Structure 1
Amino acid sequence: MATTSCPRCQQPVDSQAISCPFCRTTLKAYGHPGIPLHRAKGKEYLCDSCTYHADNSCNFPQRPYAKDCTLYENLEQSKLEREKQPYSSNFGINVKSWVNRNQTWLLLLGLLFVCFLIAMSLS
């Protein structure tokens, strides 16, 4: 059994425990012991350094004053991870990725081109 310490009372607690058996502090997401519950330290709010708050994709009800959250992703850490990812220099992969992202526009452009060809052949 892996153990960790409670952030409030510092007692040893099972790493899969949802709450501390000593002080009842919530440690994990309710019913999901595999999902960590991130906690703000001091008077700071988690939203101040969260990726989801920065890109405005967060729908957490306590936003922007969340002190604990299961979806928290550190903004600085995610920036560092993106910088570490190697840039793909393979032209084929980049083109394929661009086509996948813009399928709708390519389909619309193709349809307009076919309409243009039909109109040119009728005149």
Structure 2
Amino acid sequence: MPNCPRCHQSISNREITCPHCGMILKAYGHPGITLHRAVEQEYLCQTCLYHVDDTCTFPQRPYAKECTLYTDKDQSPLEPESIYLPRRTLLQAAKLWCQRHPAVVGLLGLLAVSVLFTLLSNS
């Protein structure tokens, strides 16, 4: 069981606020999302990965004391080998593309038929 950052009492993972001191532990309206807080006078942005790579759009940046999207820049990101990327043949990739874009396939088919009729009528 984790401890409350303010009063250091044991609390459940599911608690939204600390039952001992009332400190808010989860994001307002989103009880499943953890609310990260800065320690003392430091700002979260100083150690956040999104601030370092300049993709943060949080309005309080770079002076955020609380954030739900905080990611520590010193934690190792996922290794590329751990992400499953299936290998597909060219035929499988083309089939998948056709399944995802049936309207484009239909238009290309109509275009091919019209070109074929034009060529046959000119002969």
**TM class, shorter-chain normalised?**
0.5 to 0.7
Structure 2 matches for 1:15-34, cutoff 5 A? 15-34=13-32
> What is the CA-CA distance between 1:6 and the residue it aligns to?
0.7
Deviates more, 1:68-77 or 1:9-18: 68-77
Runs of 4+ in 1 over 6 A off after TM superposition: none
- Bigger proportion of residues as helix: 1
Per the alignment, do residues 117 and 96 of structure 1 end up closer, same or farther by CA in structure 2, a change over 3 Å counting? closer
Partners of 1:97 and 1:20 in 2: CA distance? 54
Structure 2 matches for 1:38-77, cutoff 5 A? 38-41=36-39, 43-46=42-45, 48-51=47-50, 54=53, 56=55, 58-74=56-72
> 2:51·2:62 contact (CA, 8 Å) conserved in 1?
no
- Structure 1 gap ranges (5+): none
Number of equivalent positions: 118
Partners of 1:17 and 1:10 in 2: CA distance? 14
Partners of 1:83 and 1:114 in 2: CA distance? 43
Question: Does 1:14 find its partner at 2:12?
Answer: yes
Question: Which of these two proteins has the greater Rg computed from alpha carbons?
Answer: 2
> What is the CA-CA distance between 1:27 and the residue it aligns to?
0.8
3-state SS in 1 of match to 2:93? helix
Aligned match of 1:114: 111
3-state SS in 2 of match to 1:14? coil
> What is the CA-CA distance between 1:17 and the residue it aligns to?
1.9
- Structure 2 gap ranges (5+): none
> What is the CA-CA distance between 1:41 and the residue it aligns to?
4.2
> 1:51·1:78 contact (CA, 8 Å) conserved in 2?
no
> 1:47·1:63 contact (CA, 8 Å) conserved in 2?
no
3-state SS in 1 of match to 2:11? strand
**Structure 1 vs Structure 2 CA RMSD:** 4.4
Partners of 1:11 and 1:96 in 2: CA distance? 58
Per the alignment, do residues 84 and 74 of structure 1 end up closer, same or farther by CA in structure 2, a change over 3 Å counting? farther
